[in-house]
Amino acid sequence: MIRDITIGQYYQTDSPIHRLDPRVKLLGTLLFIITLFLYKNPAGYAAGAVFLLAVIKLSRVPLRFITKGLKGILIVLLLTVIINLFLTPGTALISFWKFTITYEGVGVALTMLFRLTMLIMGSSIVTLTTTPNNLTDGLEKGLRFLKIFRVPVGDVAMMMSIALRFIPILMEETDRIMKAQLARGADFESGNIVKKAKALVPVLVPLFVSAFRRAGDLAMAMEARCYRGGDGRTKMKPLIYKKRDAIAYIILFSFVIFSVWIGRWQVINDFFNSLYLRYIIK
């Protein structure tokens, strides 16, 4: 029942994308998202989509895993499209009753649709192809410069990796406790919202108790191994850039430059504008 939830799920397989240094993937996602907001014409989005699909193909993650992430924001997506479609002022395309759809509205709605879809798909590739531990390692090393501002990067990364590690454990625990209480006749499904919330007490109390117990055990185990904070800790598998990471950076930067250039190129902007003007005049 609870197992259906998939946050930051990792898809295990071996692919060039999986093997990349997490810092490349993190920076890549960041740049990809920024470029999405720089395009001014459809050619830019097309370039972005081609790049995204190529990365997905390379990652060997089935497409349905990536689109699964979209399900969660389907409502947000629909709302954005509908609101933009009806509320953008401009030249009317269709009018009925009190609603008007404008040419500009269609343009904005489509832009938003592509932006959001690609944004979510792009960021889910990172979590799908990187183990949580690798991801925190990447963040820790990538954000090391924040130390100048006295941000305890190592400790924060440790907390993050512990939190991530505990998600599946606590999910399993929830599942087990729910089953145990079901076996004692608990009922989580019937009744109104207040009754349903009350029915969760027999699950939440043992779950919290167990979380605290586990946290205590873990703290003791860490102290027994002389953990004393993040500074100066070495890694068993330190992150070192390899040749493939350099190649990936080159491809990444070429893509960014190319797609932004084409996405903002005056000639293409003019071409699409003329297309658009011709339809309005007609």
Within the chain, how many helices (H) and strands (E) appear? 12, 2
Pick between residue 101 and residue 199 the one whose CB is nearest to other proteins.
199
Q: Of residues 94, 183, 194, 226, which one binds other proteins by CB under 8 A?
A: 183
Binding segment for other proteins (CB under 8 A), chosen from 27-35, 84-92, 118-126, 200-208, is 200-208
Pick between residue 59 and residue 84 the one whose CB is nearest to other proteins.
59
CB contact at 8 A, 128 and 156 = no
Q: Does 185 bind other proteins (CB under 8 A)?
A: yes
Q: Of residues 93, 202, 239, 264, which one binds other proteins by CB under 8 A?
A: 202
Q: Of residues 24, 177, 252, 260, which one binds other proteins by CB under 8 A?
A: 177
Q: Of residues 115, 176, 214, 264, which one binds other proteins by CB under 8 A?
A: 176
* Distance, CA of 246 to CA of 138 (rounded, Å): 16
224 DSSP 8-state letter: H
| Relative orientation angle of helices 74-87 and 63-71, to the nearest 10 degrees | 70
- The amino acid at residue 21 is D
Q: Does 61 bind other proteins (CB under 8 A)?
A: no
Q: Does 246 bind other proteins (CB under 8 A)?
A: no
Q: Does 179 bind other proteins (CB under 8 A)?
A: yes
Tell me how far, at minimum, the Cβ of 251 lies from other proteins, in Å: 29
Q: Does 198 bind other proteins (CB under 8 A)?
A: no
Those residues with Cβ within 8 angstroms of residue 185's Cβ, 6 or more apart along the chain or in another chain:
none
- The amino acid at residue 279 is Y
* Distance, CA of 111 to CA of 38 (rounded, Å): 11
Which is nearest to 80 in space by CA: 117, 118, 109? 109
Contact footprint for other proteins (CB under 8 A): 176-177, 179-187, 201-202, 205-206, 209-210
